[in-house]
Each structure stands twice: as C-alpha cells, then as structure tokens.
Structure 1
C-alpha cells in the first residue's frame, strides 16, 4: 500500500522534481561541503534566499515550455539575433562537458573509497557505460521515472546530520539571522553557492522537459480525447483548452516549487552535516566530495561516511543524464536536428550522438590531467558569465505577449526575477574579479 502511494505521488510529479534534484549533483555537494567545513553554519541562511529565486526562474522556464511546446534554444532561434544564440552555445557547451567530467570523476573517486581495490578510473568507465545504456535504450517515460526515483537518494543527506547531533537552537539562529562579513573568501563562497544553485543548464532542461510532457499530453488527447475528461463538460473547445491550460499551469507550479524545495532542503542538510561534523573538529580544507566523505568517517562514524558516499554516486547518476540531455537539446535545436528523448536511437542518431560524445569527453577529462576541482572552477566561470544573460532573456521571453499570450509574468515573478538577475550579475562580476584581479 505504501509503495502504491509513493508510486502515485511520483507519477503526479513532472520535470520540476528532477530539475531540482539534479541541481544537487556531486559538484553542488562539493560546494556545500566546502561552505559547511570552512564556515560552519554561517552560510545556512542562503537556503532561504535561493529558494524563491530558483523557483521563480524555473517556473518561468517551465511556463515558456508549456506555452510554446518547444525548448529554450528553439525559442531563442526564433526571436533573438543569431549572435546571442551562438554566444550562449560557446559558453554553455564546454561548461556542461566540464560539469559532466567533474561528476564522473567524483563518482569514480567515491566508489574507490568504498572499494579501494578498484581504481577510480574503472568505476568512472563503468558508470559512464551504464548511464549511456540507460539514456539511449530506455523509453522516455521509463527514463524519466528512473530519474524521479533516483531523487530518493537525496534523502540520505537528511539522515546524516542527525547522526552528528547538532545544536538545533544554533542551527535556527544561523538560518534566520545571517551574518555577512567583508572577508574575501566568504564572499567568494556566497558567490559559489549562488552560482551552484542557479545554474544555466537547468533553465534549458526545465523548458525542454515541460515541452516534452506537453507533446505526450497532446498525443493522449488525440488518441482518447482525455482533454474532455480533464476539462469538464464545457461545450466550447476554447473554454476546454483554457481550462486544461489552467490545470497544467497549476500542476506545473506545484511541481517546480516541490523540486526547488527539495533541492534547497538537501543543500541545507549538506551544509549542516559539514558544519556540525567537520567545522568543530578543525577540518576546514575540503575541495572534493571524496575528501568530505573521508573527513566524515573519523568524526561522524562509518554510517555517515557510507550514506554520504552512496548519495554522491546516486546524485551523479541523476545529474549526468540531465546534463547530457540538456546539452543535446541545445546543440540539436541550434543545428536544426530532429530528435528528443522520446525517440528511439535509430530515429535520432544525431541527438543521441551528442550525448555519447559529451559523456565520453567528460570521461576523457580524467586522462588530461584536469582535476575535478579545476573542472569545477572553469565550469563556475563559464556558468557565471552566461547566467545573467540567459536570465535576462528568460525575463524578456516570459513578458513577451506575442510569445506567451495571456500567460506572461506576474509582478511577483518579475520582482523575484529582477532580484535574481541583479544578484547573478553581481556574482559574475565578483567571480571574474576574484579569479583574475584579486588573488591575494
């Protein structure tokens, strides 16, 4: 009975859950672990700030996908100058590949901690092969369900902090009473957290997945007239269509908010884990997820170590298909190739070819002497530069009546989107400044 309820709950959720969960990939876990280890609970308050900003932008992306029934890249091609599209591709493609490489390497390194007799690169090879098989050969509906159930892995990070017995009064103090200093490194960490939670690739994935769901719904409507059942007994087809759109928008909003809430809850518990287990013990220098897992073992016990390590592997298995699929949608739509995750391999060879090349290039990073830390640094720089531009475009699209009709942004959406744009622009400036002009 319980399993049926879980299954029904997951079947009702859509792309928002997967989008939010994939944001907590091994790269994100590394960033949150660094924040907790270095500053204790001092960055917990960022969870409250990032949630409404993430939800606002992802809701816009979902609404664009729902109304247009196409991906963000296709919409950019139709309504913006080509240089904007090419510039976005120039920065997004290498950033996503580097992100994939960092996640594959992290999964391999953590698996090696659990099974030291097997070298990390062999685990990375196995994970890459398994993920490619799942992405290419599973039908779209089953593929999405696999991603949904992988989201359950994130619950492991909710368990870990309770094993470290935190002082909850102190936790609440740092959560609701932020203290920001002028320290360069702490500001840099806040920039890193903001950039990790509001990543450009998620905008493209959210839009494309909602557009895919719309296509599936339309197929169902054509086959069995489900629209009439869903919409009620309105005789006017326009009234039925309007009611269906209203129901879809309502479901989409709930889905996005739940997905972003899950992402931020996990972010909270990872910072809490490192802030209560590592920071008090003087473990401050954490750069990778395997270092975080290793550091947890002597201070929080074997169970915390195992749960944390298993979570890294599970989140990597969730995030890499999202990253690869997002990249393929961007490239395929930009080049005018037909193909999506709903089509079989022989009908979308170019589309799946991009995913294969992306994962293999990500795997190759392990052999080029680029460490996961370096890959994450380059990824952060590329994401940081493109985020403000893409957010500005999303805001413009979501307010364009020619594209969105009556489903343009509300004042509240524009307010939150404007704050996000300002913060991400400031973050981009600070990121570039810290990296190239102020290394002291």
Structure 2
C-alpha cells in the first residue's frame, strides 16, 4: 500500500515538475506554427526522459549516492566543477523563466504588470523553501498542478482531427522554413529533457530514504509519471494547432496570446484556468529548480544538505537557493519578456545536455556504484542515443538560435 501511494503521488507530482513554462511556451509555439507535425518531438523527448529519470532513481537506490555525489567521486574535482558551472548557469536561466511564468499568471489575474510581481514571487518561493519540507514541496505544492488537466479536457471538448494527431507523431521535416522548425524542435527537447530534473529526482530518492524495495516503484513513477506530464504537453500543442492557425496566428509573440488557449473550450473561465495552470505548475517548477540548484552545489562540495533539516543545520545549502532566487529574479524585475527568456533558456538547456548525460552513462555502467543494477543493453542503447542526440543538439542549437529562432 505504501508503494502504491508513493507511485500515485509520483505520478501526480510529475505534473508540477515536468510541466512548466518551457513546455507550455514551446508546445504553444510549435502548434501555432506547424500544427500537429511536431508532436513526434514530444514523444521522442518523453521516451528519453523516462529512461533518464528511471536511471536517476535506480542509481540513487543502488549506490546511496546522488548524481552530483557520483560525478564528484567518480570523475574528480575538475570534471565536477565543469559540470557544476554549466548546470548552475542553465538552472539560473530556467529559474528566471519559471519566476516569470508565476509573475505572468499573477498579471493575468490582477492586471498588475509582471515586473512588479517578481520580488513578491521570489520572496514567497524562498519562504516555502526556508520553512517547508521536501514532502510539502514534492507532494503538496506540485499536486495542485492537477489543474493542468484542464488542457486535456479541452482537447476532448474541442474534438481534434485524430488522424492528423496520430500522423504528427511520425517525424517529418516541412519544406518551408526548416530552420525555424528545427529550432522549435530543439526547444521542445530542451524543455522536456531538463538536467535539473535528474538532480532533483536522485536527491529526492535519498531524501525519501528509498531502499532496494523501491526499484519497482521507481520504474513505475518514471514511466507513468513522465508520460502523464507529456500527455498534458501534447494537449497544449494540439489545442494550439486547432485554435491559432484558424485565427491567422502562426507566430506566438507573447503569453497574452497563449493565455487564450482554453477560452474556445471553456469560455471566459478558460482564461482563469490557464492563469491558474501556468502559475501553479511554474510555482512547483521554481521550487524544484531552486532545490536542484542547492542540492547540486551542496552535494558537490560535501556540505550538509536536506530540505527536511532546519536551516541552521545546513546554512550553505540554504544560501545557495537564496542567492539563486535573487539572481534569477533580476531579468524578470527589469522587464525582460518571459516568453523570449523561456525559449532562449530551453535552447541553452539543449546545448548543456552532453555535459550531464555523458558522465551519467559512465556511472550507470560502473559496478562500483550500481553493482548488479547497472544498465543492460536496452538502457545503454537508449542513453547512447540520447548522448548522440545531445551532441547534435549542442552543435545545432546556437546557429538555429541565430538563423531560425
């Protein structure tokens, strides 16, 4: 019964961690510009993230190490510092985008510009991290993200052409503007395969004291939970494909346009459902990214770390998420467009993937850490594919940002 509850909570909270401003923005832009054809990128990204999340949990259970611990112990200080520097910067960009998402949701609900919400949102997130527990953040705040199921309900209310939806799951390349299409695909993959998710997940397994009886639960959470979040992301793309081209909108230029995505299905209440979905899922993501940042630094330098501990017992851990939140708040407070920041941060996330995935592949095949639970040929084939894809993304993301973004 306890394992079943853990799986249920893991599936539910996957919405708060998996679905966030990056998924919402990239899926909406893709649907508006290319209708159903980029759905295959969501399928591909979801399969990749399922493998990586399952391995993150399996590594933590088998080795009693987090991923950051393992990289430092296996590869030494120099490799770890390189990984840390890249992940730290990428996490700051993602954190800023998520703060922007919460601030925009509050702007939609109150009419007050998002810039003015940056500091209150940051303070509220900091207070939750300072006073909250891992269980509150993982199962409490993130569970509120169930409101995002309104996107799935809206798809069935609207009744999409299912034959085109299925056809969109087969990889294709349009003849017109392939650079922009490729940039959108890179952004989708960057939003789905975010490295912070693996650091957070492996740390959560240690926080929750998962033992070897949790291998099955870990696998179920990875498969069902990530798929659950991906279905909502796909629903957003399907809605965008049905709504925006019919209104002559092929290029989403701001969240104000995305905010109307639920109104055809739910009328004026759709606007408030979208604002609530955006705000709650981004709040869950801000908390998880902030914690992932603190976990990464504290574990790498051997400091005390635990969200369940009192701040006085791990002051350096708390200092990291405090400083990260303050730095990430600045772009939103000065008025940088959250949508442009989100799209840019997702492309940068794609560039950073090799630096996190390659060491992870080696760790998952090292019997010193995982023993008999190291990767089989299927797992290795999947990760090698992800590594190859990550290298391609890291090479093409920058020119695509320039010429197709």
Global fold match (TM > 0.5):
yes
Once the two structures are TM-superposed, the CA of residue 20 in structure 1 deviates from its matched residue by: 6.0
1:160-309 aligned within 5 A: 160-175=154-169, 177-181=170-174, 183-214=178-209, 245=212, 247-294=213-260, 297=263, 301-309=267-275
Pick from 350, 370, 388 the counterpart of residue 354 of structure 2: 388
Say whether residues 1:98 and 2:67 are aligned partners: no
Residue 86 (structure 1) aligns with: 81
Residue 316 (structure 1) aligns with: 282
Once the two structures are TM-superposed, the CA of residue 145 in structure 1 deviates from its matched residue by: 2.1
The answer to whether the Cα contact below 8 Å between 2:69 and 2:300 also exists between their aligned partners in 1 is yes
| Aligned equivalents of 1:150, 1:115: Cα separation in 2 | 20
| Aligned equivalents of 2:11, 2:76: Cα separation in 1 | 29
Say whether residues 1:119 and 2:113 are aligned partners: yes
| Aligned equivalents of 1:55, 1:98: Cα separation in 2 | 23
Residue 154 (structure 1) aligns with: 148
Pick from 373, 376, 381 the counterpart of residue 415 of structure 1: 381
Question: Does the C-alpha gap of structure 1 residues 138 and 96 become closer, same or farther in structure 2, counting only changes over 3 Å?
Answer: same
Decide which moves more: 397-406 or 12-21. 12-21
Structure 1 residue runs of 5 or longer lacking an equivalent are: 218-243
The answer to whether the Cα contact below 8 Å between 2:116 and 2:333 also exists between their aligned partners in 1 is no
SS of 1:406's partner is helix
Question: Does the C-alpha gap of structure 1 residues 20 and 402 become closer, same or farther in structure 2, counting only changes over 3 Å?
Answer: farther
| Aligned equivalents of 2:14, 2:262: Cα separation in 1 | 28
Pick from 60, 71, 91 the counterpart of residue 65 of structure 1: 60
Q: After superposition, what is the alpha-carbon deviation per residue over 1:64-93, rounded to whole angstroms, capped at 9, x for unaligned?
A: 111222221111111103222111122211
Once the two structures are TM-superposed, the CA of residue 55 in structure 1 deviates from its matched residue by: 0.7
| Aligned equivalents of 2:335, 2:137: Cα separation in 1 | 33
SS of 1:45's partner is helix
Once the two structures are TM-superposed, the CA of residue 341 in structure 1 deviates from its matched residue by: 0.9
| Aligned equivalents of 1:439, 1:252: Cα separation in 2 | 38
Decide which moves more: 288-297 or 348-357. 288-297
Question: Does the C-alpha gap of structure 1 residues 287 and 428 become closer, same or farther in structure 2, counting only changes over 3 Å?
Answer: farther
TM-score (norm 2): 0.91
Pick from 42, 51, 54 the counterpart of residue 47 of structure 1: 42
Residue 128 (structure 1) aligns with: 122
Q: After superposition, what is the alpha-carbon deviation per residue over 1:330-351, rounded to whole angstroms, capped at 9, x for unaligned?
A: 1112222112112112212221
Residue 24 (structure 2) aligns with: 29
Pick from 383, 395, 398 the counterpart of residue 364 of structure 2: 398
Say whether residues 1:75 and 2:74 are aligned partners: no
Decide which moves more: 31-40 or 298-307. 298-307
Q: After superposition, what is the alpha-carbon deviation per residue over 1:1-21, rounded to whole angstroms, capped at 9, x for unaligned?
A: xxxx9x996544465764564
TM-score (norm 1): 0.84
Structure 2 residue runs of 5 or longer lacking an equivalent are: none
Q: How many corresponding residue pairs?
A: 403
Once the two structures are TM-superposed, the CA of residue 50 in structure 1 deviates from its matched residue by: 2.2
